[in-house]
Structure 1
Amino acid sequence: MRHVNRVLLSTLLVVVALVFQVTVLARLHLPGAVPDLTLLVVLALAMVYGHVGGALVGFSAGLLADIAPPADHAVGRYALVLAVIGYLAGLIKPESGQVRTAAGPMMVVGCAAVGSTLLYAGVGALVGEGSVRGVGLGNLVFTAAIYDLLLAPFTVPLVMALARRADRATTAEAAETATGGSAAGDSSYRWLAGGTASRAAVKRARSYGRGGIGRQRGNLFGPKSKSAKATRIKGVKRL
């Protein structure tokens, strides 16, 4: 159930980020690179799910970006880039699942923005596709880092909070289900034990009703009859 919730949440967040990036951010015609909202979502989920989950989310998000219009590059190019970035970002996942300061995620965003741009250009050069398209690589790297760092405070903490909350809700539901089942078993056992105890009490009451009155009579009249007999005997001796 937990993995299903993760898949559904990741799919929803990636689709929303990609649609917003294509329909809004790409139409702003900012100088240099386009703000990569999909990269920020992948980074945030990777810092919660770990390196394996980050790699899977990154590959899926990159593949979706490769086939979404107006993509003009080979399918799988950005999927490879985001899979590597998601894996590396997931390696710094804290043991407690929560980040203490914002410095760590911001450093991850800056390094990921620079690394993804360089890796994307390198993969494009390997497959023979244009990687710069009239804009200098240095300008692309600089503007990508600036745009992603500006968007990160409004995106990364929100996505991480949603992912952690979904995981906690799933864990609490599973624990509640397990506790409810054990409590039901204990209550049924207590009911059976109570029924056995009540039947035993009824048997003891019946046995007491049969022989207890006789014992009570013996206690009431037995000693008095013995003392009276002893008194009569003493009286005879005195005479």
Structure 2
Amino acid sequence: MYAQIGILGLVFSSFVAAVPLSASAGLISAASSSAPAGHEWHRPGSGDSRAPCPMLNSMANHNWLPHDGKNIDLATIQSAFEAAMGFSTESFVGITQEALAVSTTGNSSTFNLQDLAHHDAIEHDGSLSRNDAFFGDDLHFNPVIWASTALRYGIRVPFSSPVITVETAAKARAARVKDAKRVNPAFNLTSQAGSIGETSVFLTAFWDESAGGVPKDFARVLFEEERIPYAEGFVKGNRTLADVVAMISKVGAVKV
């Protein structure tokens, strides 16, 4: 038993050492030849706005969203998700309206990516890669939080499946929520919808039907580098709001 605990601790420590101290640190050159022309990856600058969401940050880093992450309106979100990730234009209308409700731009039709760190609007306790607001920073990538998720996803675990299945993702999400409840005296997740939706959008965007899951390398570069995994083979699909809703049902149906 004690040997097993020691091995698990060593594996967990290796995860923390392997991931960057911040997602903006980047692990690749400023441009990737496999990205569409004009949408090569560039790290955010010191004055750029970023969200608690690695997918939105990745789209800004690839210039599908404004690279500075500021003054984003509904049409820009719709265009970016369609062009970068293959989502139909109706997919994120509701979420964008929630973002506009906490906007700090002074224009009710636009928001900055950092506005999404407003606690308990879109951002929620029990994030897969961010700490809870109670601990002072719900915006930036947290390598310890992500390490626990990555371990549960089986990333860098030898001889495990090359993909993240619905069951694996659902159980990792639920485990992260339990972790947060245990340590956060102000934990508040009145509805599981935001947490399940976060996982479901990620699964829908990168789902490989033939493999029965999301390639683990896609998850690794999305969360750790805030980069769209073009170099790893990602090709956008054709996704609709109905696809996201169907995935939400699948994730919610897993016994955790």
- TM-score, normalising length: structure 1: 0.31
By percentage of residues, which structure has more helix?
A: 1
Larger radius of gyration: 1
- TM-score, normalising length: structure 2: 0.30
